[in-house]
Structures are given as C-alpha cells and as structure tokens.
Structure 1
C-alpha cells in the first residue's frame, strides 16, 4: 500500500516541522524526498487535505496554518471532546472495565512527559504529551471521538510548533495531568470532565499568548 505509506510518511514530516505551517508543497519535490512517484504523493495530498493538515493553495497545497481565532475554535472543540472522553473513561473505571495496568501506563506517560519538558527536551515533550492525551482518550473506548481528536491534535501541533519554547508552566501542566488521572482513577466522571476541559482551555490560552 504505497499510497498509505506515503501519506503516513508525509504526515510525519509535517508534524515534526520538516514542512512547517504555511509552507507550499510540490508533488515533484515531495516525491523526490520520499523516493516515490507523483501518483501516491497526489493521493497523499488529497487524504491529508481531507484530514485538515493541508489546504488548497492555487494549483497546489500548503501545510495548514491556523490563525489565532481559528486555533481558539479548534481548542474549544478539543476541550469539549476531551471532557467527553475523560468522562467516559471515568464511567468505565467506575464500572470496573478498566484494568489497573491501563491506568498505570497513563501515569507512566505523565511521568515521562514531565521529565522531558522539565529537562528542556521540547520535541520529545510534545510527542509524549500528545501520547498521554491520546491514551486517556483511548480509555473512553469511543473510536469516533478518538478519530476526531487525532485530526484536531494534528492541526494544533502544526500550528503551534513554530512557537515551541522552554515551558514556563511545566509544574502546572503536570499537576493538571495528575488531577485528570486521579479523577478517572476515582471513577468520578464529572470531576474528570471538568479537569480535562480546564486543562485544554488553559493550554489554549498559553498557546495564543505565544502566537
């Protein structure tokens, strides 16, 4: 499946900043970079445009770059969805449907995220932070919400990567992660939803200040 492989590899290059937000992509250049023909690149462009990572620009495409207001709108939707997935995860925990090992895995991710950001390993911290939030969403067992969140996370990551800097709220982020995990572990859906929503909206405020 060369088309899928090309889409996946191009997506990775976009998310790690190799193709930064706002940059124009040409089929020939990308095909040479990936060592494939133009056909799978063209299909990858279409797929990633449908996913919201690319947008049409004349006869070509460019990496999405959300303006401050657009970014705020995406964050508000993300906040609502993460509140939902946190609530569902807590409900599953209360019903005895989450294994202790699943929660332990999320706690370990919180530890690794905090260590990476505190040590200034920013790119790794971004990756681990997203992995932490995705793992929480997976606990909800709602594939529709997870798929939608993946698309929103992609847009946010690309749009904020250019302003990546040494964190000045590392301890707050870690505390909010712990609060969210504690509410899920306690099987408290309302507290989990509230913790998730507040955390995402706080992150939105911080990212907009660096836009």
Structure 2
C-alpha cells in the first residue's frame, strides 16, 4: 500500500503505485498506450516513467515488451535478508525514540487490522502500513529511505504470506508482541520480535511457493 497518493500528472508515481497495490502483478505486460489511457497522462511521460522503472529493475524485457519484473528464489532470499536486518534495526530504534502517541497508533492498527482477516489483499496492505509506521517511529530518515526501496522490491513478489490459512491471525499476534516490546522500551526484544516475525513470514512464503511448484 502506498503511503502517499501520486499526483494526477506523475506518471512514474502512478505506475509504481499500480504495481505496489497489485493492479499490475509480476509478469503483467505494460503497454504505453493503455497506461496513458488508464491514467489520463500523455504518452511521453509514460514512456519516460517506463524507462526509469526498467532502469530500477522494476520492469524487465520480454522480447520487445516490458513486463513487471519478478524475483526468483535467490533474489527473494536476498531481499528477506536485507529486510530483516533493516527492520530489526527500525524496531530497536523505535523502542528508543517512538513517542507515546506513535505507540498508541501501532496498537490501534493491530486492533483495526483484525477486520481484514478474511481478505488477504487488504490485510497485506494493512500489514505494510503497520511496518511503515514502525519505520517512521525509528526517527531515522536514512533508514526509512532504505526501507522504502526494500518495500518497492517487495511488490515484485507474486503472493503474500498472509494468504496462507491461519497466517493472518498469527501475524497480528506477532505484531502485538512487537508493539509491546516497543512500548516497554526494550530495543533488543523489539528487534528480535520483528526478526522472528519476518522469519516466519519467509518460511510461510517458501511453503506457498513449494506448494505451487508441486501442483504443476
């Protein structure tokens, strides 16, 4: 889920947001004319945006066509390694620097997100919102910027671990444990809780992918 809504004439932001929110998924072909019609933007900025996204490895070539890129097994593992290290640090810093109001917002998010347990797509968006709030609560703008880049790449994963049966409810319990550690100002516990949370999410995603492969 994108935090900021792109301006109506921001072709790059509009396309990135569409990938980010799952309108365009890994493997989907992006056609310049269709994008221009969808977003009401002329083809020149669309073309420039596509070139920029290709340079950033968000798009890849399939013959003469541009498609939304996807991550292979090794790339996914590498992404989770970086994500876990950075998010663990964010949780540790949040425990040190989060304002009382920020902690209350995190608690409210955990409570509100139970309403999305039957909708994995909405829960995935809510999950991203929750994690981003932790990033912001670290009060370290350079860390937030790096995590924004990591989450951009997360959009290239075709599935969400929250689609696994029962995972949503367990994930929210893990979120609660992270917030409780942040509230207790226990940086090590907050970091460990978040790292454990991502480790389980990664294992779940691997099982989903293995199941998809065995079903072919």
Tell me the TM-score normalized by structure 2: 0.84
Whether 1:12 aligns to 2:17 is yes
Match of 1:77 in 2: 82
Tell me: higher relative CO, structure 1 or 2? Use CA pairs within 8 A at least 6 residues apart.
1
- Contact 1:83 1:197 (C-alpha < 8 Å) held by counterparts: yes
- 2:90, 2:56 → 1: CA distance? 21
- Contact 1:4 1:44 (C-alpha < 8 Å) held by counterparts: no
Match of 2:144 in 1: 146
Q: Which runs of 5+ in 1 are unaligned?
A: 93-97
- 2:161, 2:87 → 1: CA distance? 23
- 1:164, 1:133 → 2: CA distance? 14
Match of 1:40 in 2: 45
Match of 2:187 in 1: 189
- 1:17, 1:104 → 2: CA distance? 29
Question: Shift of residue 51 of structure 1?
Answer: 4.3
User: 1:109 aligns to what SS in structure 2?
Assistant: helix
- 1:181, 1:137 → 2: CA distance? 12
Tell me the TM-score normalized by structure 1: 0.86
What is the aligned length?
A: 204
Match of 2:71 in 1: 66
Q: Which runs of 5+ in 2 are unaligned?
A: 1-5, 210-216
CA deviation vs aligned residue, 1:62-81 (integer Å, no higher than 9, x gap): 21211122112101110000
